[in-house]
Structure 1
Amino acid sequence: MTTPDRNAPTLSDGVVDWLTNGTRDERFIDNIFAQMCNRIQQAGIPLKRSTLHILINHPQWLGARFMWSDGMRDAQIALVDYDVRERPEYIGSAANEMQDGATEVRENLERDPSLGRKHALYDEMREKGLTDYVAWPLYHTLGKRHFITFATDRPGGFDEAHIKALKNVLPVLALVSEIRIKNRLARTLLETYVGAHAGELILAGATRRGTGTTVRAAIMICDLRDFTKISDNWPRDDVIDLLNDYFDAMSEPIARHGGEILKFIGDGLLAIFPLSKPDACINLLHAVTEARQAMAGLNERNNGSGRAPLNYGIGVHVGDVMYGNIGSSSRLDFTVIGPAVNMASRLEALTKQIGRNVVLSRDFAELVQPKFELERVGKYEVRGFSDPIELFALPS
């Protein structure tokens, strides 16, 4: 009996060499994946369809699926939400088997469907003329498992040489994909926790304590009213849901109009609109207007479920701020500080006294009038500032 030569060349050796040496300048795994599939075809492996499934750390999405099929230059990308595991599209699928620990899922699509696995995916592939399907895990470090699938329309399916060649690709693809996925993960986590612009600066090397730059910006500080009373009297999960709904109502308009949320502070948030961007102050007011509408809608829904309406205050000012790294030697915060930030905070506190949920400084108002109709509410003493400040509000 002849022992197989484990070092014998396979159909995919050229693909492995390209993955190892030819992908250094490619940042995105979807591009590498699509090119890899086309090269597998060119190597003589009858590949018709392939998918790459990646688990990602994202507040909205469980994972991403990249799909390539014959004739495609680029891969299609689909995001997968956290609830997918409760739906028929997942239950009983190859993804389900892979996440449960399977090391291979192989399905002969030419045989009688009653003898094979029962799932809509296999029926769809049969309808498209596919004859064989295989899925394998893609192992990353620290026990992370993703997976990849290959399918063919070749009569009789993949032969042993094809399977060996495809398996030969997996270890190198695992290394190449892990680097790109972790780069994307680092960017996603920074965008999630510090914001897109701050994340870009940090990735570019702005990590030294005390470093920063002076930025002229419109500053917005928002705070929820009576939160202590709510958190003391409501069930914990209800409080978390309430905060998430409140922050969605406030945050989505800010992001939509070009603002940058620097931090959430308990039941409050700090956001800036750098004046380096066109119409920054106008965009801030558009964001505030939409946030007020979203809060009104949220309160209407809460009222229907027996919850009390949520009250809030927003203080808005404009000025120069120091934007950069502040903190201890081992724990930094990328934020803004300066008198302009203090003023916005004081104005937010004054909303209680004035009885308006949005209060604007004169400095800010001068930059938006007459494009925005504002109401003058008078001069008020502001804690920490020597002279009374003339204040404005949005019409009720």
Structure 2
Amino acid sequence: MNRDDIDNIAAWLADRGLAGDDETSLMQGFCRRCVDAGLEMSAGTAIIDTLHPVYEGRVFHWTRDTPDDTRVTEYLPTAASDNEESWRRSPFYHLLQSGEDELRRRLELGETAGFPILDELKERGETDYFAMIHRFDKKTAIGEMDCLMSRWTTTRPGGFDEADLEALRRLVPVLGLAIKAASLARVAESLVEAYLGRDPGRRVLQGRMSRGVVEKINAVLWFSDMKGFTALSESIASDQLIPLLDDYAEAVISAVHAAGGDVLKLIGDGTLAIFTADDPEEACCSALRAEAELRLRLDELNQRREDEGRPTTSIYLGLHIGDVFYGNIGSKDRLDFTVVGQAVNEVSRIASMCSSADRDVLFSAAFRESLPEEEGAKLVSVGRYALRGVGRAQELFTLDPELAVFPLR
């Protein structure tokens, strides 16, 4: 690889990084160009931490045997996984602890001591191993995203030559900058979707952030909360409370998402979500499917918790349809992307009547009227109820227990 090759690959990385290519495209394009320019690498791996509610980071692995397929692995926090011991015996852990930036081992010469992974690579026929860490400034690091780790191997007899190593030293920092840019964009997307909801998150990232800018939409409104949560929270050990909330929130949120809904807000043990579609019938049917899926998930969850000797409960749910304002509401320093309007107040009141009506789910008359006739026939009246803050009594409906609503599975 000559100077012109290095300059061309660096220019390509800068161009594609600015264009917003994802990490797999960057890794694949980089490795293929290096090989085409004469750098005989057999495999390359790049690792970068992230900021995500579940995963700690992502690994991008390219091999010459499958040059068009860059494998991506998302890994859990090391302390929460079964890989902590192997991590502590890895070259990357050594580099992080020692403060060094590079580690080279000539595998064909038997330089594998101290790192079990190097023995494995040598057995696969690798002759040379070169690892690097490029650290980010701690002042600008986000979460644990404080460096890019990479490793490069070859099967060429004699291993890498000095020109190969110098090319990697020149190019990998540019690759790291492009991967970091793509990863930061992914972090922003993950954060806004996790804390605002999927559709609100997308809207915010598209630039719809102005305070007071809202859109009037017609939506199915979902409000659910846990049955008997206050009494339950007072009767269980404090260290069981958050796992309890997480378990039942997971059942609700996954059911809503599976049916195409968007969760807008978690309020203690309560969940506010919406279903939208060009046709109100479609939105209502999606909400019905989510309700049916929720019941299946609750059955599985409660069985598991019972087997583990942990407390169980159920979910009260109110479903309504109406016009709401959807957008940014709040102060200049703290905004919330949510829905407001009379229909939002009404759906929370409907959910609160589940206990009085002795039903797990209640529907408004407006919701029932918006359903296709066949689905509407599955809902039966439970009577008229005075809803707090609503001017007149409302007729509410529930599912006829003899008529099934098919879940998503």
Query: Pairwise mapping of residues 1-396 of structure 1 onto structure 2 (< 5 A)?
Result: 9=3, 12-21=6-15, 23-70=17-64, 71-82=66-77, 83-84=80-81, 86-87=83-84, 90-100=87-97, 101-112=99-110, 116-119=113-116, 121-142=117-138, 143=141, 144-276=146-278, 279-368=282-371, 369-371=373-375, 373-396=378-401
**2:9–2:33 Cα contact (<8 Å) kept:** yes
> Amino acid of the residue matched to residue 247 of structure 2?
D
The verdict on how the C-alpha distance between 1:309 and 1:29 changes in structure 2, with shifts beyond 3 A counting, is closer
SS of equivalent to 1:75: strand
SS of the residue 2:278 aligns to = coil
Contact 1:313 1:348 in 2 (8 A): yes
The runs of 5 or more residues in structure 2 that have no matched partner are 402-409
Aligned residue-pair number = 387
Q: Are the equivalent residues in 2 in contact too, given 1:53–1:66 (CA < 8 A)? A: yes
> Percentage identity across aligned positions?
33
Q: What is the SS of the residue equivalent to 1:165?
A: helix
Q: Distance in 1 between matches of 2:120 and 2:54?
A: 28
Secondary structure, in 3 states, of the residue corresponding to 2:324? Answer: strand
Unaligned runs of 5+ in 1: 1-7
Which deviations, in whole Å up to 9, do the C-alpha atoms of 1:201-246 show, x marking residues without a partner? 1111111111011111110001113323333343332101001001
Task: Classify 1:72/1:49 alpha carbon distance in 2 versus 1 (closer, same or farther; 3 Å).
Answer: same
Structure 1 residue 131 displacement after superposition: 0.8
Q: Aligned in 2, Cα 1:95/1:229: closer, same or farther, shift over 3 Å? A: farther
Question: Do 2:26 and 2:175's aligned partners in 1 also have CA atoms closer than 8 Å?
Answer: no
Query: Alignment partner of 2:47: what SS?
Result: strand
Structure 2 counterpart of 1:392, which letter? F
Alignment partners' CA distance in 2, 1:21 and 1:184: 19
How far 1:118 moved relative to its partner? 4.0
d(CA) in 2 for partners of 1:85, 1:172:
33
- For normalisation by structure 2, the TM-score amounts to 0.88
Q: Quote the residue 1:5 is aligned against.
A: none
Structure 1 residue ranges (4+ consecutive) displaced by more than 4 angstroms after TM superposition = 8-11
Whether the aligned pair in 2 keeps the contact of 1:11 and 1:45 (CA below 8 Å) is no
| Distance verdict in 2 for CA 1:344–1:235, change over 3 Å | same
